[in-house]
A and B are shown apart, each in its own frame.
With several copies, the nearest count.
Chain A
């Protein structure tokens, strides 16, 4: 037999390799020419080893049993022995037939798999089922509006009158946080260290207080100033971060 020059197919095991040889030689599976097959099998193993393909122990064991069968078949049969001696190939043939069956089925499975791979399933949903009152989906748009209106009504009762209603009486006073930041920095220019309360001296207007406070927080956040306490519950002092 010629040296194998083609690419070796990957065999799934010794039985797979034997099936391959049987098909290639168009051999009758029930009448395997053991000598020929054994020779080819060994040649394959050699080639696999040369090509650094993994030759597992199972392949070697099969080689051994092929040689065993071969030797057994070479022995002359005793004519006088009446009982039919089993063909030494029988066990191998049984194994091959059994294996062939599943190899065929694996092809049928593959076809079905290819077909059903084209089917999509939806992921199970996590469903919300509030018991009582019924689910949120059952909350109607009316509920939403009612909720909103109840807020409006309550506000009209509890909150001070709408700002717009004062527009004609009082001009809305604009307070800029930016302006307050400048004022605080001016204070810190005159004095190295001030207390937090000093910032609010002479400030009674609510928006002004809020704006000043926001300015302080803003400056601290921007790391322009630094606030500290020498004891808990004590005065809060402010210095410029650069003076720290």
Chain B
């Protein structure tokens, strides 16, 4: 198969799948090795980028997905019935940040950090598909552990959790300040 044909097949596959397709699955379907596929994916993603097409390929945890480019949001928005507002409150966003950086966490972990009961925000985030259960902590009461979802990565444009920007510096500073205060 020529590269162009492989590229077109990838495009067709990602379109038909409508969800993220793993690198492995693509390799298997196209009968090519990972390294070759990765370089073709790179080429294809660059092409979309360079041509500023209406759609793009994003990479999420060694999987690829087709989606629209944000540049054309305003036109897309005009065409689809708007759903009820999906605004995330400040509380929800804080809760999300805590979960993202500390996952997996329990309800009480979150409450401890935010200093306030966060069940409402947590439920909202679960409902929105940004946060999900990730098993239970082996401790009395077996509290549920929460973590972010693949949808969270997609929404914020991260490839993986490791991709989250470093905030440890600030945190250390804060702790330093606290210690100074004490």
Q: Which A residues fall within an 8 A CB radius of B?
A: 12-16, 30-31, 56, 58, 62, 84, 86-87, 90, 93-95, 97-99, 101-110, 112-113, 115-133, 135-139, 141, 143-145, 147-156, 158-159, 161-162, 164-166, 177, 214, 217-218
Chain A contacts for B97, CB-based, 8 A: 102-103, 105-106, 109, 144-145, 147-148, 151
Contact A86/B94 with A113-B155, A121-B65, A124-B17 known, Cβ cut-off 8 Å: no
Chain B contacts for A152, CB-based, 8 A: 170-171, 174
Q: Which B residues fall within an 8 A CB radius of A?
A: 12, 15-19, 58, 65-70, 73, 76-77, 80, 82-83, 85-88, 90-91, 93-94, 96-98, 100-101, 113-117, 128, 140-141, 154-158, 164-165, 167, 170-171, 174-175, 177-179, 181-182
Q: How far is the CB of A33 from chain B (nearest CB, A)?
A: 14
Q: Which of B80, B88, B182 contacts A87 (CB 8 A)?
A: B182
B15 touches A120 (CB 8 A): yes
B156 touches A141 (CB 8 A): yes
- List 8 additional A-B contacts (Cβ < 8 Å) besides A112-B156, A122-B18: A15-B114, A105-B165, A116-B154, A123-B18, A124-B18, A151-B98, A164-B179, A177-B140
Rounded to whole angstroms, the CA-CA distance of A30 and B178 in the bound complex is 7
Q: Which of A122, A136, A151, A156 contacts B94 (CB 8 A)?
A: A151
Contact A165/B182 with A105-B97, A130-B85 known, Cβ cut-off 8 Å: yes
